[in-house]
Amino acid sequence: MHKVLLSVLLSVMLVAAGSSVALALQSGGFSVGNLETGSVVGQSFKSLDVDLEFTALMLGGKKAWYPGTAILDLRNQGTLGRRGQPILIKVTNTLKGEHGFNLSADSAFAGPTSMQVEITVKPGETRYIGIPMSDLTFVTAPGSMKVRCQLHEAHLTSHLMIFK
């Protein structure tokens, strides 16, 4: 009798632990995928507008993420604004080798909860990154982020300015 009770208790605890892990994963965090099947916080990539586009290409003989400076304007546009709609970034690698896409706060201003996105993109590949608006809440005050390639030191750094 005791053994049965114990196993029931244990399984209840396991279920509880499992569901809290699932909840933790659902709250925030970026997700990566393709346009057809990807989704972020329950919204399919297809239903979102592409807010930003970065392309890995050769620029003056150097590998770069283009554009060198991009702007994400989150200030209300129109009567309804964004209404918390997630950000969708399109990342394309036109180069022959694999490159990294790392989006993070300017290290000088980065806090412990600062957003950090890091993926790799194969040659000729396009990937989409969905970022919940809640993650952008923690972007540091100056709203300046860097786009780097974590695989190559020489790869030119780009900047993302966020107006909010």
Residues 33-92 that bind Cu ion (CB under 5 A): none
Structure tokens at 19: 């569901």
Residue number, 57 or 110, with CB nearest to Cu ion: 57
Taking CB atoms, the residue at the shortest distance from Cu ion is 149
Task: Compute the distance between CA of residue 129 and CA of residue 32 in angstroms, rounded to an integer.
Answer: 5
Shortest distance, position 161 Cβ to Cu ion, whole Å: 22
Looking at this protein, which amino acid is placed at residue 145?
M
Would you give the binding string for Cu ion spanning residues 84-123, x where CB under 5 A is met? ---------------x------------------------
CA distance 19 to 82: 30
Q: Which CB sits closer to Cu ion, 46 or 62?
A: 62
> Shortest approach of Cu ion to residue 78 CB, angstroms?
38
What span, in angstroms and rounded, lies between the C-alpha atoms of 164 and 161? Answer: 10
Residue type for 129, please? I
| Residues between 133 and 152 with contacts to Cu ion, criterion CB under 5 A | 149, 151-152
Alpha-helix runs per DSSP H in the chain: 2-26, 133-136
Closest approach, Cβ 149 to Cu ion, in A, equals 3
Residue with tokens 């997700």: 31
**Cβ 98 to Cu ion shortest distance, Å:** 8
- Chain centroid to CA 70: 15
Interface residues with Cu ion (CB under 5 A) are 99, 149, 151-152, 155
